[in-house]
């Protein structure tokens, strides 16, 4: 159930922004419907997730802080329910988040610099409390 196979499948030279774009694409195209079948209930979590979907910056306009915030959501927040779901490339959505954080910070999820930068995202004020950091 780990992510090693996903890291092996990761395209050579994929960038942080491309990782964000793949997370963004999967969630905006599939998320609202998939959460019904995968998560299986309508509650505050799923409603907050759907609100987040409507506010995600398109990949071309996402700031570094926005991307970092979404990576956190994909690993341990409102997008976490899809952690092990694969996109059209056969890669788990959370693998992109972990991969991007490792590219960016070298130490990924545990990096304090990342945790501070994500707080500068325009999304943090409304959705920051959902992160389990």
Tokens of residue 121, six digits: 């995202």
Residue 18 near residue 103, CB atoms below 8 Å: no
DSSP secondary structure letter of residue 110: G
Domains of the chain, by residue range, sit at: 4-130
> How many whole angstroms separate alpha carbon 52 and alpha carbon 103?
25
Measured CA distances, 63 to 39, 70, 73, 78 (Å): 29, 11, 15, 19
Pairwise pLDDT comparison (132 vs 76), residue with the higher score: 76
Measured CA distances, 38 to 17, 59, 62, 127 (Å): 27, 25, 27, 21
In tens, the pLDDT along 87-103 reads 999 999 999 999 999 99
In tens, the pLDDT along 66-93 reads 999 999 999 999 999 999 999 999 999 9
């Amino acid at each position: 159930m780990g992510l090693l196979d996903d890291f092996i499948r990761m395209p050579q030279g994929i960038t942080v922004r491309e990782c964000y774009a793949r997370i963004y694409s999967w969630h905006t195209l599939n998320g609202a419907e998939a959460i019904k079948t995968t998560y299986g209930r309508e509650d505050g979590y799923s409603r907050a997730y759907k609100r987040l979907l409507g506010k995600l910056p398109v990949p071309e306009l996402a700031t570094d802080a926005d991307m970092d915030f979404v990576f956190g959501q994909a690993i341990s927040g409102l997008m976490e329910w899809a952690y092990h779901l694969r996109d059209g490339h056969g890669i788990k959505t959370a693998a992109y988040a972990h991969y991007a954080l490792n590219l960016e910070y070298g130490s990924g999820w545990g990096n304090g610099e990342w945790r501070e930068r994500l707080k500068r995202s325009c999304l943090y004020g409304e959705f920051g409390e959902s992160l389990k950091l």
